[in-house]
Chains A and B, each alone.
Chain A
């Protein structure tokens, strides 16, 4: 009995280690540098503006990976990178004043983006995909606190995903791998956001 318990514990520990390795492997495989030899694809990023509480569509051309999950991650990394621009209309904490800091020296904003099929209801043709966006702890800590800045960030993420990957119908948010009540004290992160209902056509 004792031997069986010890063996079972060993098997469970090994399975846990393999799952952790798979997770880290998936994160490592996501491209963080521009893939060479891939033609640029037109994409739309929804850029928030704190001054008038709006989202503006910005057209870009960038090479995107084939895998949809990796594509979602590249899109969001590009979007969140704009928040670090010294001239950003939606700067992260200190971004507007940190003119001496060279770009892309900040910690990563995203830990991962997972795509999960949404369970289909009876008689429904396609329920789409749920994107689980895992912000890094550093991103949440540097994010300005307030209803407006936090809501704009979530809407920009949801809108950018839905505009470029229409199959994404729902979005959930994590911070550092855990569910958190709010992003920086206000916007509710415990809910599932429905992409079509959250961001009206053409931004806010």
Chain B
């Protein structure tokens, strides 16, 4: 009897151990699904430094960033006794936004009011958007017509990570093409244009084709008569030309591979 009892006890103990092991295995499998076992951690996917590509079946949206230069305590140039650069750039940017929206073009602005905004924050706003064009609007009392500026940075290939201070270098070639498009549209509207290159913030940090459009009064010349920057017809002709150029740029942009 004692043998039988010890045999039954042994069977019971073995059964209990089997069930316990099975439960442990099942629990272990469940935990493995919930959290990885300690050991080498698989590398997390790196954060993209440029906008992620859009799904192949969805057409990417054509977006334009408008940066009305200066604002708040940063008044920019004094155009006249009653006109500051920060005010005219905001006014032009808001009107250009309406005109581009009427053409079905998505617009993102870096400021919508007379607010302080640092160069870094403007670049952050622009770089969070997969923008097809970035237009920086400036104004000055010097010179004549419209001055188009692109970055002086030497072109570099696009890489996954770009240095913040020189991110525009990967887009300089496209920026020059965009500048050429705007130049043609302004010339078509018979507005004097000069082209140049410069180091300018936030332009040098932008990850999009970027052009600084600096609007100046019209000086009297062979084909032009002196026109102040406040002239609404002059402003309208500049905005019409910019709208036409960006519309043309959209066509070129869609044909890109």
Contact = CB atoms under 8 A, between A and B. Distances in A.
B143 A188 contact: no
B198 interface: yes
A188 B200 contact: yes
Contacts of B138: 146-147, 186
A151 B70 CA distance: 18
Of residues A50, A187, A197, A204, which shows the largest number of chain B Cβ atoms within 10 Å of its Cβ? A50
Contacts of A197: 152, 154
A167 B154 CA distance: 22
Interface in A152-199: 181, 184-188, 191, 193, 197-198
B204 A188 contact: yes
Categorize the interface residue count of chain A: 20 to 34
Contacts of A28: none
B228 interface: no
Given A51-B144, A185-B70, A186-B138, A148 B201 contact: no
Contacts of A149: 140, 142-143
Interface of chain A: mostly helix, strand, loop or mixed: loop
Interface of A: 50-53, 144-149, 151, 181, 184-188, 191, 193, 197-198, 204
Given A147-B138, A185-B85, A188-B198, 9 more contacts: A52-B194, A145-B85, A146-B141, A147-B147, A148-B214, A185-B70, A185-B76, A188-B199, A193-B199
Interface of B: 70, 74, 76-78, 85, 138-144, 147, 149, 152, 154, 194-196, 198-201, 204, 212, 214, 216, 219
22 contacts: A51-B219, A53-B143, A144-B77, A144-B141, A144-B142, A145-B78, A146-B77, A146-B142, A146-B143, A147-B138, A147-B140, A147-B149, A148-B214, A149-B140, A184-B77, A185-B85, A186-B198, A188-B201, A188-B204, A197-B152, A198-B152, A204-B196
